[in-house]
Amino acid sequence: MATTRESTDSDSLVQPTAGQIFFAAPTGGDTPVIELRGAEKVFGYDDTATTALDGVDLVIERGEFVAIMGPSGCGKTTLLNVVGLLDRPTSGDYLLNGRNVAKLSASRKARIRNREVGFVFQNFNLIQKLNVLDNVTLPLTYQRGLNFRHQQKVSTLLKTFGLQNREYYMPYQLSGGQTQRVAIARALVNKPSIILADEPTGNLDSKNTEIIMDELTRIHREDNTILMVTHNPDLLSYASRVIHMKDGKIVRDIELTKNKAHATATKFVSRRKAVRGHRRSIRRLAGRSKK
Amino acid sequence: MILPVSFNLAIGSLRAHRLRTFLTTLGVVIGVFIIALILVLSSSLHASIARQATKMNDNILLIRSSGDGTTGMEAFSPLRVANATILTERDTIATSKIAGVKNVASMMFLGGIAESSKHSYNNITTIATNHDFPSVLGLEMISGSWFSEKEIDRKYVILGEKLASGLIETNQAMGQVVTLKNQDFTVIGIIKTTGQSISLAGVDVDKAAFISLMNGARFTGGTVEIGQIIVRVDNQDNLEKVKGEIIATLQHDHLDDSEFMVRTASEIAGATAGWLATITTAALIFASISLLVGGIGIMNIMLVSVAERVREIGIRKAVGATRRQILEQFLLEAMLMTLGGGLIGVALAYAVGYLIALQFSLPLVFNWWIFAVALGVPLLVGLIFGLWPAARAAHQDPIVALKQYH
């Protein structure tokens, strides 16, 4: 029965309506996690000015797994930086959990980043001198006040990633997949509103890619919101929504599956089976978008 | 303020670069070591001077020559005691006759080689003086006795205990022959250790040899050239009165009253303290330069460290470190290095100070303010020289910083 539903979903993907949001409101959420209104980002001045974001409107509800695709220089990373509060839009509004954060001071943005955003990078970005435990604890250390239960909390978290025996390993002693799992654990440790992943599998082989995507899927299933930039069309099958960008604009916004339905479905069906159907349709989709 | 966190981060980062931390800290260690050593020695000397001005010496007057035209307290600089020799034996006798004077010791400063059958010393202070010298200065003998008034023509010598044990064994020195400037003298007494390298005698009694003025004149072609007369007054209340009379008496005998100076022991202690303060200040100014260099070293390494860790800073900012937290971390790193340098420096200074104090019979003083200076100044240096690199770290753009690859 579940298989049937999957195929139905897949079929519906063949004729998506760009920009349309057609799934149920997020669980318990009245306000979207992310809301960009006419976000613009211009680098440089006058003649040398480059527009990285050209009036982006984007709403991401809680529990979505959004993949962003597009050619290099289309503004994907800038979008991620703006959403992650590392960068501020030149104009436009950015509401994070309903609160306008576009014009906050650097230190207030840092505090929000600390609590609401988790980053996963292509090159992992662990601090090489710190062990696994300390790397994952890092976001907690920047919270006000001392919490001596940090270590226990982090240990429990690492266990869910199968890294309980790697706590005192240094980053260079880990495989690429393990390193990225540590980085994901770090992104999750503060229970952020959104996880931003910039090519999270870009430096990994296919086996580790699968491992990492499985982790992200698991996290997604636990009702986390994920925004992932990728070049790899294979990964789109994991997402619940795909956004295509070009020249700083969102040119296509496709809902792949109903968030809730996807989560429930994958609980019952072997994930591989469930995904296989997705992949086929997505390859078709990706192929078309290239043309 | 997340100081405890920054503290752990800073410690961790310092430990990660042990060798670099050590070498950088070395500059501060040397700077603080020199400054603390100057302070330790200066306070030791100060304590030593203070000991002179004890009750034992509060009824003492000193007459010193200022024959080369120097005026004022400069004549009492410990550096130039032996130089001027305008005073004569006539002055000694005239002084001893003044009412209120208990006894008088005149001193003639001679240098030269001292030899025994076993050892030879080059620069031995030899003092030609009279029979009242030990009672004026309150010296005790451990063996033998001082020469009497009748024995001034005998070739006798009295040794300070340290010199005696250097030349001959202390307990065997009595009756031995010691050669001073090629003339043989028989040891008839050994002075008990005073433990004061700075005394009103102007020399370290423990390391000096004492002969009679008549014997001293043999080295100078028959003239007795007195550098200093020490006068003990019978009552402290008479000190100023006697001082005035001495000046009047000596002025009568000397054409120029700038040829001599009369001062009380406490005035001299004060003058020496003043002179010491000047030297200390000058030395501290030069030592501060080495600390400045140490501070620049810290700044240099901190800048390198910031440049090297741009990506780390980017990561920290991405996970939510504020500028202030980054600033604190790097500033603390710099300050921990300088504080550590200060601790090592002051410990070394006391170790070396102890050895020097032992060598020169100075009292070793532990002053809380030396520790305060030796730890406070490096902290300040760390703050000043660490601030700019830390501010640079804090103002890194996380987007740019994260793009840096190893």
- B247 & B199 share domain: yes
Q: Which amino acid is at B187?
A: V
More confident residue, B29 or B246: B29
CB A220 within 8 A of CB A197: no
Among the listed residues B364, B302, B373, the one whose alpha carbon sits nearest the alpha carbon of residue B336: B302
What is the percent of chain B where pLDDT is above 70? 89
Which long-range contacts link B131-136 to residues 24+ away (Cβ below 8 Å)? B131/B212, B132/B103, B132/B104, B132/B105, B133/B105, B133/B107, B133/B210, B133/B230, B134/B191, B135/B103, B135/B232, B136/B60, B136/B103, B136/B104, B136/B105, B136/B230, B136/B231, B136/B232
Specify whether B143 is located in the same domain as B237: yes
Question: b/e map of B333-369 (b: 16 or more CB within 10 Å)?
Answer: bbbbbbbbbbbbbbebbbeebeeebeeebbbbbeeee
B65, B85 Cβ separation under 8 angstroms: yes
From B253, B281, B296, the end of a domain falls on B253
* B287 in the same domain as B170: no
The answer to whether residues B110 and B206 belong to one domain is yes
Taking 60 as the threshold, does the pLDDT of residue B210 lie above it? yes
Structural domain count, chain B: 2
Q: Is the Cβ pair A125, B318 closer than 8 Å? A: yes
Dump pLDDT digits (tens) for A168-215. Answer: 999 999 988 899 999 999 999 988 989 999 989 888 888 889 888 998
A-chain CB neighbours of B316 within 8 Å are 127, 138, 142
CA–CA separation, A204 and A214 (whole Å): 14
Sorting pLDDT into bands at 50, 70 and 90, what band is A237? confident
pLDDT at position B390 is: 94
* pLDDT at residue B303 is higher than 80: yes
Confidence of residue B406 (pLDDT cuts 50, 70, 90): very low
Instruction: Report yes or no: B327 at the A interface, CB cutoff 8 Å.
Output: no
Asked whether residue B9 falls in the same domain as residue B100, the answer is no
The mean pLDDT of chain A is 79
Least confident range of A108-122, A272-286, B15-29: A272-286
Residue A250 confidence class, pLDDT cut points 50, 70, 90: very high
Are the C-beta atoms of A80 and A120 separated by less than 8 Å? Answer: no
Structure tokens at A32: 């979207």
pLDDT at A147: 62
pLDDT number for residue A256: 82
Q: How confident is the model at residue A85, as a pLDDT?
A: 92
Residue A124 contacts B, CB cutoff 8 Å? no
Distance from C-alpha of A178 to C-alpha of A187, rounded to nearest angstrom:
14
Whether the CB-CB separation of B328 and B2 falls below 8 Å is answered with yes
Mean pLDDT for the stretch of residues B91-118: 85
Could you report the per-residue pLDDT of B238-282, keeping only the tens digit for each?
888 888 888 888 887 776 666 778 888 777 778 778 888 899 999
Residue B57 domain-assigned? no
Q: Do B303 and B350 sit in the same domain of this protein? A: yes
Q: Is the pLDDT of residue B68 over 60?
A: no
- Contact between chains at A106 and B322 (C-beta distance less than 8 A): yes
Structural domain boundaries enclosing B209:
87-253
The predicted pLDDT at position A148 comes to: 64
Residues B148 and B241 in one domain: yes
Residues B244, B321: one domain?
no
Which of B253, B284, B316 is the endpoint of a domain?
A: B253
| pLDDT score for A197 | 93
Question: Is B14 in the A-facing interface, judged by CB distances under 8 Å?
Answer: no
B99 dihedral zone (left: phi>0; alpha: psi -120 to 50; beta): beta
Q: In DSSP terms, which residues pair with A42 in a beta bridge?
A: A51
pLDDT over 60 (residue B82) = no
> Under an 8 A CB cutoff, do B2 and A119 touch?
no
Out of B2, B315, B399, the one facing A127 most closely (by C-beta) is: B315
Q: Is the pTM of this model over 0.90?
A: no
DSSP-derived secondary structure for B154-188: S-EEEEEHHHHHHHS-GGG-TT-EEEETTEEEEEE
Minimal Cβ distance to A127: which of B312, B322, B405: B312
In which residue are the tokens 């501070």 written? B295
Same domain, B247 and B164: yes
CA distance, residue B7 to nearest chain A CA (Å):
11
Kindly calculate the radius of gyration of chain B based on its CA atoms and give it in whole angstroms: 30
φ, ψ (nearest 5 deg) of residue A34: -120, 135
Residues B223, B367, single domain; the answer is no
- Using DSSP bridges, classify how beta strands A34-43 and A50-60 pair: parallel, antiparallel or unpaired: antiparallel
Tell me what ipTM this predicted complex has: 0.78
Is position B294 within any domain? yes
Residues near A273 by beta carbon (within 8 Å), at least 6 away in sequence = A3, A6
DSSP helix/strand/coil, B347: helix
Rounded to 5°, the CA angle A217-A219-A225 comes to 95
Residues 6 or more apart whose CB falls under 8 angstroms from that of A47 comprise: none
Residues B14-29: b if buried by 16+ CB within 10 A, e if exposed: beebeeebeebbebbb
| Contact check, Cβ <8 Å, B9/A144 | no
Query: Where is the domain boundary, B225, B253, B281?
Result: B253
Task: Taking residues B46-59, report their average pLDDT.
Answer: 72
Residue B242: inside a domain: yes
**Residues whose CB falls within 8 Å of the CB of residue B79, separated by 6 or more in sequence, listed in order:** none
Residue of B nearest to A81 (CA): B399
Beta-strand pair A194-198/A117-120: parallel
Average confidence (pLDDT) over A257-276: 48
Is B205 part of any domain?
yes
Give the mean model confidence (pLDDT) for residues A44-49: 84
- CA separation, residue A70 to residues A66, A245, B55 (Å): 13, 5, 95
How far B311 CA lies from chain A's nearest CA (Å)? 8
For residue A21, name the pLDDT band (cuts at 50, 70, 90): very low
Asked if B88 and B195 touch (Cβ cutoff 8 Å), the reply is no
Nearest CA among B180, B52, B191 for reference residue B128: B180
CB contact at 8 A, A114 and A189: no
Looking at the fold, whether B134 and B175 belong to one and the same domain comes out as yes
Radius of gyration of chain A (CA): 19
- State whether A139 and B319 contact (CB < 8 Å): yes
pLDDT above 80 (res A286) = no
User: Do B281 and B247 lie in a common domain?
Assistant: no
> Which CA distances in Å does A215 have to A117, A156, A202?
18, 16, 15
Out of A162-171, A239-248, B187-196, pick the least confident.
B187-196
| Predicted local distance difference test score (pLDDT) of residue B70 | 46
Confidence of residue B66 (pLDDT cuts 50, 70, 90): low
What are the pLDDT digits (tens) for A4-16? 333 334 333 333 3
- The whole-number pLDDT of residue B393 equals 93
pLDDT for position B81: 46
What's the CATH class of domain A2-25+61-87+192-290? alpha beta
Q: B57-71 b/e with 16+ CB inside 10 Å = b?
A: bebbbbbbbbbeebe
CA distance A32 to chain B (A): 22
Report the percent of chain A where pLDDT is more than 90: 32
Query: For residue B400, what is the nearest residue in chain A, using CA coordinates?
Result: A86
Residue range B67-76: average pLDDT?
49
* Coil, strand or helix at B394: helix
User: What residue spans define the domains of chain A?
Assistant: 2-25+61-87+192-290, 126-191
Any domain includes B55: no
- Residue A23 DSSP one-character state: S
According to the model, what pLDDT value does residue A279 have? 60
